[in-house]
Amino acid sequence: MVLRPDWLSPTAWLSELHLKDSREGWARYIDQLAVIAGDSAAQERLGFDAISRGCLVGTDAWKKAIAREHQHRALEQDLPRQETRALKEERWNVALEQSLLERHKSRQELASTPGRPRRKVEIASRVRELSGAPYSWIADMLSMGPPLAVRVAVWRSCNT
């Protein structure tokens, strides 16, 4: 049994990495991402800063889902970048506060706990779901380490 969303067609890039579209192949891929998440030199060498900018690769259904998820951004097109960022951060903060209230936690409690324990990952996942906050912001707010590691941890929590 393969552990991946139906809309994801990974054949080309998995084969490029010499991995199979199988439970074991995906596990190896996730492990590779976790290693890269903690290695900024590897991220730079692999060009992570430029991956998929302005490009959607996937099925039409996936593209439509992404468009629905990010439709709120259309309202921000005419605003200066600094104002847009402030609006987004407010939305992210509201989502974070809501997620913390749902779990009876405070920012101080989470900030004093390093790493990515399950409760932090659950909160990160919920904030992402509610607001689309970037992993870099979530990682900073919850003191969770490198954003890519947070992304992998959230993905794992949603797919196990």
Q: Return the residue matching tokens 């629905």.
A: 68
Query: Is residue 17 scored above 60 in pLDDT?
Result: yes
Amino acid at 50: A
11 Cβ contact partners less than 8 Å away, ≥ 6 residues apart: 21
Rounded CA separation 105/50 (Å): 35
Q: What is the pLDDT, as a whole number, of residue 75?
A: 55
pLDDT level of residue 122 (50, 70, 90 thresholds): very high
Q: Per-domain residue ranges for the chain?
A: 10-47, 82-160
Rounded CA separation 64/113 (Å): 38
Q: What is the pLDDT, as a whole number, of residue 16?
A: 81
Show contacts of 71-74: CB within 8 Å, 24+ apart: 72/132
Q: What is the pLDDT, as a whole number, of residue 123?
A: 93
For the segment 139-154, what is each residue's pLDDT rounded down to a tens digit?
999 988 899 999 999 9
When pLDDT is averaged across residues 46-64 and rounded to a whole number, the result is: 67
For the segment 56-81, what is each residue's pLDDT rounded down to a tens digit?
667 777 776 766 666 665 555 565 66
Query: Is residue 134 scored above 90 in pLDDT?
Result: yes
